[in-house]
């Protein structure tokens, strides 16, 4: 199928299957894990990072958990002093944790796609080198600049969700 990679990737599946999608609707659902209810869930894969962004302003945040790879956790731990690590047993458990958390923070990759499918509150570190992913719907933000990262983080951190 001919397509341009600089095209919103979720739409690819719509065209492949011949099904029109409202991409603001939730397209995944899983149960929740209560012990992650007030946690900020983070995954920052080594691919598609924004070189202008750093996470060190989160150094004193105490309710943040990395559910990515241990190597991703070790990298983030350098900037986030109180970062916790949870080793998910599988992708279903990761999805349950992402749904359960206060909000999800990450760059483009599998975990962000899960957060997007669940329509959980989410914050995307946008990649200027490959801008094919962006959040759609409410309580969803993306950023290219540090000041916007900090602003949107604060909005999601201070918001009360039902």
pLDDT reported for residue 136? 86
- Percent of the chain whose predicted confidence (pLDDT) is above 70: 91
- For residues 160 and 105, the model is more confident at 105
Length of the chain: 162
Domain annotation for the chain: domains and CATH numbers: 40-158 (3.40.50.2000)
Residues 6+ apart with CB under 8 A from 120: 98, 99, 101, 103, 104, 139
Average pLDDT over residues 81-85: 97
57-78 tens-digit pLDDT:
999 999 999 999 999 999 999 9
CA distance 127 to 49: 6
Q: Which two tokens stand for residue 31?
A: 């149960």
pTM comes to 0.89
Contact 32, 44 (CB under 8 A): no
pLDDT reported for residue 48? 87
């Amino acid at each position: 199928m001919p397509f341009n990679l600089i095209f919103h990737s979720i739409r690819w599946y719509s065209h492949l299957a011949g099904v029109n999608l409202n991409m603001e609707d939730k397209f995944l659902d899983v149960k929740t894990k209560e012990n992650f209810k007030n946690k900020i869930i983070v995954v920052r894969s080594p691919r598609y990072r924004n070189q202008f962004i750093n996470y060190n302003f989160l150094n004193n945040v105490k309710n943040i958990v990395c559910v990515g790879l241990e190597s991703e956790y070790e990298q983030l731990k350098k900037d986030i002093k109180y970062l916790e690590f949870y080793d998910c047993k599988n992708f279903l458990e990761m999805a349950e944790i992402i749904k359960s958390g206060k909000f999800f923070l990450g760059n483009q990759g599998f975990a962000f796609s899960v957060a997007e499918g669940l329509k959980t509150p989410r914050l995307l570190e946008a990649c200027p080198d490959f801008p094919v992913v962006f959040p759609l719907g409410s309580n969803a933000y993306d950023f290219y600049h540090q000041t916007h990262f900090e602003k949107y983080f604060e909005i999601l951190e201070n918001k009360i969700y039902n």
